[in-house]
Structure 1
Amino acid sequence: MGNVSTGREFAGMHHLELAFLDDVAPKYLSLARPPHGLKIRQWKNRSAVPLINKLHAGLSGLKRHQATVLDHKLVWLEGGNSEGTPVVLLHGFASNKENWLSLVPFLLKQHRLFVLDLPGWGESQFNANVPYGLDDQVTRVAAWIENHVPGKAHVVGNSVGGLVSALLAGRHPHLVQTLCLMNPAGGKGTDHTHFEAGLKEGRNPMIVESLAGAHTLMSLAIHNRAIALALAPVMAQDLINRRHVNRHLFHQMFVNAPNPNGPGMSATQAPTLIMWGKEDRLVHYTGAYTYQAIIPHADVLLFDGVGHLPMVEIPIRTAKALQEFWTA
């Protein structure tokens, strides 16, 4: 971390950071169905998440909070040990803060948890008139942490939330005590999944149009078949309701790629753990080594028999790995 890097080294790192987007984005944008502007503007959030939160609050002690941060109303769950180090949990694409609820009980005793709905997702505000590129999302999350999370936090991000977390750590090091990237999106591995290959042909099962589509997505995200089958009907209504918004948000990530001239994830100084389920059918686990090349001091932990969402499939093992990392 103390070595001085040359401009050429930084340029090489930025190329590595953007390799997946550079490879996939042009092909996806030229072939995929474009977002429907009118349906995006007319969209209404009909999620059952508020009811889930009420039921869960009595079990976990997490409380719902909301505040306006920059150009968005943001919603998050907060609770745990008020004297503990803050932990920020950031979910992935087509998801919400509730993805972390299986993990939460195993972290509450020692830590203060802040479980955010990323801008545009879950109960947080979606605004059809503002950009949702990765740079925009990092700026919003950083402003939220600055205003609502006390002190440096252990930041944990899954999937696209992992990509946001890595950029956050590189650009706002004063906010991040440690960084955990859990099956993060955006790292171009030495191999690829069927999902990643399909994006180059304009296919995207993240955009769910039916119950069958929800089953397909859950089977890609979760290796444990029983969990995938159980979650598909629970998630289907929200995924279908959000399909036009999700298509728009996916396009936004590709249209508004990160600025290659600013600090990137390679500037990360915080201790970093890259955690990955080897049976991930969305983002190939060899991307872990791409991220490790970008953040050379990072450790890699691979889970056999686990998919894209370790915190859902193996919450106890995930919590144990996090606790060991945080106390090392």
Structure 2
Amino acid sequence: MTLRRLLKTVALVAAVLLCALLLWLWREPYRVVLGDYTRQRLVAGLGRNAAQVDDHRWVYAYNDEAPANAPTVVMVHGFTGGKENWYLLAQRLRGRYRVFVPDLPGWGESERKRGADYGFVAQNDRVARFIEQVARKPGSPVVLLGHSMGGGIAALTAARHPRDVDRVALFNSAGVRFKDNVFGREVLEGKNPFAVSDAASLKHYLGILFYDERAKPVIPWPADDIYIERRKREAAFEQSVLDKIGRGDERFLPGDEAVRIGQPALLLWCRQDAVIDASALELFAVRLPQAQRVLLDGCGHMSVMEQPDAVAEAVDQLIAKGTPR
């Protein structure tokens, strides 16, 4: 084969592959976003797996390269979030601990069932089952971390399933009646302050979550438009979850039941949190007198992304020095 014919063949194959890729993305554009999530996961040194736990299929990131009997750290994300929110922290903890970072049922890549309950109570039972079936290893204590909505879920899991949780950390956690702010008032009025329907609302959403501009994720075109379309399709589901955890009978259940948590605990907030006001830290502290308390400055609701080094240090302290009630 001459060089010219070889180059033509290579060009033809490349064109066919490019067309196949474009068709694949046209059928499901959100794969562009998922592709970047994959990049972030690989940078964090995490693998990806899936497991059927009872009636839901879970997708999770993980790293099991830790010394024998090292603690197992399970991370539970917040409302509209996903496992990707934890990657910066997971990167800092892997190697010393076993790390499991799932998408909660109903969110991200994990399964959602029409008409299923995704409130605090239902999800805490699911998290306990995930720990039992997927994450737990004999001789390895379980450290459960929860952020925002995930903090409320983690509090209930620690209170109701104490044999599954040896230590618990609540970061910017939902579940108590914190000091009034714009976010809280809008939720009570029936709105979704996190709703995304266009470029302006996406900017507003990120502005509520992040205080540190340097930590705010950049979503370039075309990923921004693809993400916006996805969130528009999620609007009804998001409202149904808020009806449970923000306006319904369950909204203060994590705080009410936190008094039953006897395990070593950590409470961590950011002073500039515009979602769950930092007053919530002391409200949880009254219920968890054994808890270490950390109030960070210069960050908003996304403490785990804005100050992952400080959060990792606090988790290390919880594991090394935490004391039970």
Please indicate the TM-score interval, normalised by the length of the shorter structure. 0.7 to 0.9
Match of 1:222 in 2: 210
1:122 Cα deviation after fit: 0.5
What are structure 1's unaligned runs of at least 5 residues? 1-43
CA contact (8 A) 1:103 1:312 kept: yes
Q: Paired residue for 1:246?
A: 238
Does residue 54 (structure 1) correspond to residue 38 (structure 2)? The answer is yes
Mapping 1:1-328, distance limit 5 Å: 46=30, 48=32, 50-83=34-67, 84-151=70-137, 152-189=141-178, 191-228=179-216, 230=218, 234=224, 236-253=228-245, 254-255=247-248, 257=250, 264-328=257-321
Query: Is the contact made by 2:41 and 2:87 (CA closer than 8 Å) also made in structure 1?
Result: no
SS in 1 for 2:38: helix
Q: Aligned to 1:291, what secondary structure does the other structure show? A: helix
Task: Provide the C-alpha distance between the structure 1 equivalents of 2:84 and 2:233, rounded to a whole number of angstroms.
Answer: 17
Structure 2 segments unaligned to the other structure (5+ residues): 1-27
Say if 2:175 and 2:251, in contact at 8 Å, map to a contact too: no
RMSD value over aligned CA atoms? 2.4
- Relative to structure 1, is the Cα distance of residues 188 and 45 closer, same or farther in structure 2, using a 3 angstrom cutoff? farther
Q: For 1:74 and 1:58, how far apart are their aligned partners in 2?
A: 19
Query: 2: CA distance between counterparts of 1:226 and 1:91?
Result: 21
Larger radius of gyration: 2
Pair 213,312 (structure 1): closer, same or farther in 2 beyond 3 Å? same
- Please tell me whether the aligned partners of residues 41 and 47 of structure 2 are also in contact (alpha carbons under 8 angstroms): yes
- Partner AA of 1:141 in structure 2: V
- What is the percent sequence identity of the aligned residues? 27
Deviation at 1:76, TM superposition (A): 0.6
Q: Are 1:178 and 1:326, in contact at CA under 8 Å, matched by a contact in 2?
A: yes
Q: Secondary structure at the match of 2:166?
A: strand
Distance 1:163 1:123 in 2: 21
- The CA distance in 1 between the partners of 2:128 and 2:55, in whole Å, is 13
Is the 1:214–1:239 contact (alpha carbons within 8 Å) kept by the matching residues of 2? Answer: no
The more displaced of 143-152 and 266-275 is: 143-152
Change (3 A) 1:183 1:216: same
1:11 aligned partner: none
Q: Deviations over 1:53-83 (max 9, x none)?
A: 4323443331111111122111111114343
Report the AA paired with residue 202 of structure 1.
G
CA contact (8 A) 1:47 1:238 kept: no
Residues 208 and 274, structure 2, Cα contact 8 Å, conserved in 1: yes
Separation (CA, whole Å) in 2 of partners of 1:147 and 1:114: 12
Q: Is the 8 A contact 2:74 2:142 kept in 1?
A: yes
Bigger RCO (CA 8 Å, 6+ sep)? 1
User: Are the aligned partners of 1:133 and 1:256 in contact in 2 as well (CA < 8 Å)?
Assistant: no
Give the whole-Å Cα distance in 2 for the aligned partners of 1:150 and 1:317.
Answer: 26
Cα distance between partner residues in 2 of 1:81 and 1:184: 29
